[in-house]
Amino acid sequence: MGFFYSQFLVTPQYPTQSFADQTALVTGANVGLGLEAARHITRLGAARVILAVRNVAAGKAAKEDIEKSTGRLGVCEVWEVDLASNASALAFSERVSQLPKLDVAILNAAIATEQFGIAEGYERTVTVNVINTLLLGLLILPTMKATRQKDPSRTPRLTFVVSEVHAWVNFTEWKEDQPLKFVSDRANAKMHERYPLSKLLQVLLVQELAGRVPGSQVVINMLNPGFCHSQLTRESGWKLTLMKAVLARSTEVGSRTLVAGASAGLESHGAYMTDGHVESTALSPFVRSDEGRQAREKLWAELSSILEGVRPGVMQNV
């Protein structure tokens, strides 16, 4: 009932809060929600907007489109990052570390596919949506913390785009010794529910991350944009295409929730937002249960081991 009520009867507010003098970063910014969120942030006065994209040519086209629609030239920059690649994430974060400040990071890039594939030793969706998204968040944290330290009037925000579909999957695999490795085995990969599982994993890990970083340093939140028109589902089947035709919000309306997360206050730290507001009770019963807490702790331990293997010492950024 909540899903249909939100889709049909709730329209997130049009963004008006200023981003003047801020540096913002949006992953997956060449299309869909990321593009429209970057457009809003540019329109609202940001001094520098980094379009973090896998496809540089598409990123340049997005930059031109944003500049044309907002009349703000020279604000957007196109930076390459491919979250299926550890090396790409590391190289991108090295560029971020050279920024004089970073006020906003919206980690939006994701894939939704039922096709099994391996990237960096894990099933591709797990690598892109979970492992390397969290890796990127951890790698840019020092720059965001330094932004706050240099100017206490600034409140950096690290926003993860999750989804209400996290509640649509039964995650019994958390009881395995290494859940991320287990679900990356082709024999155990239920690819028809892989995207919802990846978002559940992300919710749990973002909760744990936020619990370890004071909101007074960096506000870390996560948001559900609702079911929207985007290219996220381009690798999914006809059923989802049909659902989009009937139920989906416009891409621009959905992007308003990303901007809301990027401008939310301390009350959003560690919280789940939907329709642009904190709605922690909208988290699934599993996430809020004792089993969910146990799953979160086990996943964090496994993720920590994985990320330390990619970049030794990265967990000290928390």
Q: Which of 72, 25, 23, 10 is nearest to 256 (CA)?
A: 10
Helix (H, G, I), strand (E, B) or coil at 140: helix
Active site residue 195: yes
| pLDDT > 90 in the chain, percent | 87
Helix (H, G, I), strand (E, B) or coil at 28: coil
Range of the domain at 124: 2-317
- What confidence score (pLDDT) does residue 12 get? 87
List the catalytic residue out of 63, 101, 122, 195: 195
Q: Which residue has the tokens 């690649």?
A: 85
Q: For residue 92, is pLDDT > 60?
A: yes
- Region 283-308: mean pLDDT is 98
Radius of gyration (C-alpha) of the chain in whole angstroms: 18
Active site residue 5: no
Q: For residue 107, is pLDDT > 70?
A: yes
- Rounded Cα gap, residues 184 and 28, in angstroms: 23
Residue 80's pLDDT band (cuts 50, 70, 90): very high
- What confidence score (pLDDT) does residue 119 get? 98
CATH at residue 238: 3.40.50.720
CB 67 within 8 A of CB 93: no
Q: Which residues contact 152 (CB under 8 A, 6 or more apart)?
A: none
Q: How does strand 76-80 pair with strand 48-53?
A: parallel
* Packed helices 194-212 and 290-310: angle between N→C axes, nearest 10 degrees: 80
Total tally of structural domains belonging to the chain = 1
- Rounded Cα gap, residues 36 and 255, in angstroms: 6
Helix (H, G, I), strand (E, B) or coil at 5: helix
- What confidence score (pLDDT) does residue 1 get? 46
Residue 11's pLDDT band (cuts 50, 70, 90): confident
- What confidence score (pLDDT) does residue 36 get? 97
Quick one: 213 exposed, middle or buried, by C-beta within 10 A (0-12, 13-18, 19+)? buried
pLDDT digits (tens, 9 = 90+) for 225-278: 986 556 555 555 555 555 555 556 688 999 999 999 999 999 999 999 999 999
